[in-house]
Amino acid sequence: MSKLKAIIFDMDGTLADTEDIHRQAFNAAFIEFHIDYQWNRAEYKELLSISGGNERIRQYLLDHDLISDKTVDIATLARTIHTRKSEIYRQKLIDGHLVLRPGVHRLIHEAKDQGIKIGIATSSSRQNLETLLKLTLGNDGLDLFETIVTCDDVENKKPSPAVYHYALNELGLDPDNCIAVEDTHNGNMAAMATGINTIITTHQFTTDDNFAGASLVVDQLGEPDQKFKILAGKSHGHHYVDVNLLRKVLTHRNEQQENKISNPAFAAE
């Protein structure tokens, strides 16, 4: 029977509701670079299918022919815009009143108290992550995590499983001892590709994503006095995500796997 030994969190949209801050930062950078376009929320929701801000900008510039000077190298321009966008984003975090999503602070500390390792696997940059953690968890926030893997550590971004393979290696654990907390289709695919069970917490940009295969999909992790809304999967009688629920998720998945092995007809369904 697999034992819960680690929880691996995504960052943007999972730890904190940052996606619209990213969108605002992209738009501010576009203005500075005289690109006559602003991403609205509906459009940005579609663009989140592309992991990585640099990749998002580059693909958008290529698809929409927004640069009139054909001598400009689009890849270089995208990197330059993204560097400035990231600076704007971090300043917006500092200037704002960023808080963690419901249940995140509680679950992290509950897990730490029970000897469960905590990690982060994100397609964002280390600098962005450190800014967010210091603002929400204090100057010692980084020390809560046994591993932090960002796009600075792996080249291929989600849905590639590279970031999760790296995290598992750092933790020294098998995937069936871990649960990933994600918020996007790409994140769910990346975690599942390594064999890690997933809990999904949706937000305004991902409520319609395909989360097939996730153990549980909810609108938030919730609190004892703030129940989550179940969108898919089994909550095993719980109203918020805690360590006991995560253990039950692993037990349920193990039972499913055992049924497939012992009952070929079940496996064929």
Give the CATH number of domain 19-95: 1.10.150.240
Which CATH architecture describes the domain 6-17+99-268? 3-Layer(aba) Sandwich (3.40)
pLDDT at 266 over 50: no
What digits encode the pLDDT tens for the residues 91-123? 999 998 899 999 999 999 999 999 999 999 999
- Region 13-24: mean pLDDT is 96
pLDDT at 86 over 80: yes
What digits encode the pLDDT tens for the residues 213-247? 999 999 999 999 999 999 999 999 999 999 999 99
pLDDT of residue 263: 65
Catalytic member of 12, 17, 183, 242:
12
What digits encode the pLDDT tens for the residues 188-217? 999 999 999 999 999 999 999 999 999 999
Give the Cα separation of 82 and 127 in Å (integer).
13
pLDDT of residue 124: 93
Domain boundaries of the chain, sorted by first residue: 6-17+99-268, 19-95
Those residues whose C-beta lies under 8 Å from the C-beta of residue 237, and which sit 6 or more positions away, are none
Give the Cα separation of 144 and 191 in Å (integer).
21
User: Are 6-17+99-268 and 19-95 in the same CATH fold?
Assistant: no
- Per-chain mean pLDDT for the chain: 93
Is-contact 189 205, C-beta < 8 A? no
Give the three-class secondary structure for 154.
Answer: coil
Catalytic member of 10, 17, 176, 209:
10
What digits encode the pLDDT tens for the residues 163-183? 999 999 999 999 999 999 999
| Position 159, amino acid | P
Higher pLDDT, 155 or 80: 80
10 catalytically annotated: yes
pLDDT at 68 over 70: no
pLDDT at 269 over 50: no
- Region 12-22: mean pLDDT is 96
Q: What is the dihedral of CA 260, 214, 110, 151, to 10 degrees?
A: 120
Pull the structure tokens for residue 190: 């990346």
Pull the structure tokens for residue 116: 């469960």
